């Protein structure tokens, strides 16, 4: 059991796991920011354009019904296709996907800049250079 705890501790405290945890927390906060942007900034003008609250846009497939059985009223809710809410969620996804794409593209360009250009081979020592010259002269003959 002690070995298991030791292995788990090593796993949990590795840099990659900690980086992943930070990324998940920041990603959750970023998702809330994007949702707020879509809900509070993009959707109100769109709702104004179509004349009603866009998120509430839906197609009623079956109307709500009310039944009374033994003096107890029961309401069966309507069956609806909520296309406005779907479009809003799709916009959330597209904005998050675009932001992630741009972030990864930026990181990749930084990595390319950081990659070192292979250094030119060091000049041969004087004695090797002289031997190469002699070899080249002998080949000419």
Residue 61: pLDDT band by 50, 70, 90 thresholds? very high
Select from 56, 113, 63, 65 the least CA-distant residue to 85. 56
Integer Rg of the chain from CA:
33
Coil vs helix vs strand at 59:
strand
pLDDT of 116 over the 80 cut: no
Helix then strand then coil, % of the chain, to nearest 5: 70, 10, 20
Tell me which of 44-53, 102-111, 112-121 is least confident: 112-121
**17-23-25 Cα angle (round to 5):** 105
User: Each residue of 11-45: pLDDT tens digit?
Assistant: 777 767 777 787 888 888 888 888 888 888 888 88
Question: What per-residue confidence (pLDDT) applies to 35?
Answer: 86
The residues spanned by each domain of the chain are 2-117
pLDDT in the model for residue 15: 64
Q: Do 59 and 80 form a contact (C-beta atoms < 8 A)? A: yes
User: Angle 7-8-9 (CA atoms, 0-180°, nearest 5)?
Assistant: 90
Q: Is the pLDDT of residue 114 over 70?
A: no
Highest-scoring range by mean pLDDT, 60-64, 92-96, 97-101: 60-64
Beta-bridge partner residues of 66: 75
Nearest to 33 by CA among 100, 112, 96: 96
Q: Which pLDDT belongs to residue 82?
A: 92
**Separation between Cα atoms, residue 35 and residue 23, nearest integer Å:** 18
Per CATH, which fold does 2-117 belong to? 1.10.1200
**Mean pLDDT confidence for 90-117:** 81
Average pLDDT, rounded, for the chain: 83
The pLDDT of residue 102 is 87
Q: What is the DSSP letter of 57?
A: -
């Amino acid at each position: 059991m002690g070995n298991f705890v030791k292995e788990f501790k090593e796993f949990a405290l590795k840099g990659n796991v900690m980086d992943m945890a930070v990324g998940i927390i920041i990603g959750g906060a970023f998702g809330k920011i994007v949702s707020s942007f879509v809900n509070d900034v993009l959707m109100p003008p769109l709702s104004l354009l179509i004349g009603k609250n866009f998120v509430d846009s839906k197609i009623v497939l079956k109307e709500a019904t009310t039944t009374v059985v033994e003096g107890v009223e029961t309401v069966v809710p309507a069956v609806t296709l909520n296309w406005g809410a779907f479009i809003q969620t799709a916009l959330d996804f597209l904005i998050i996907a675009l932001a992630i794409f741009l972030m990864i593209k930026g990181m990749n360009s930084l990595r390319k800049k950081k990659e070192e250009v292979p250094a030119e081979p060091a000049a041969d020592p004087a004695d090797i250079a002289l031997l190469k010259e002699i070899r080249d002269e002998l080949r000419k003959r």
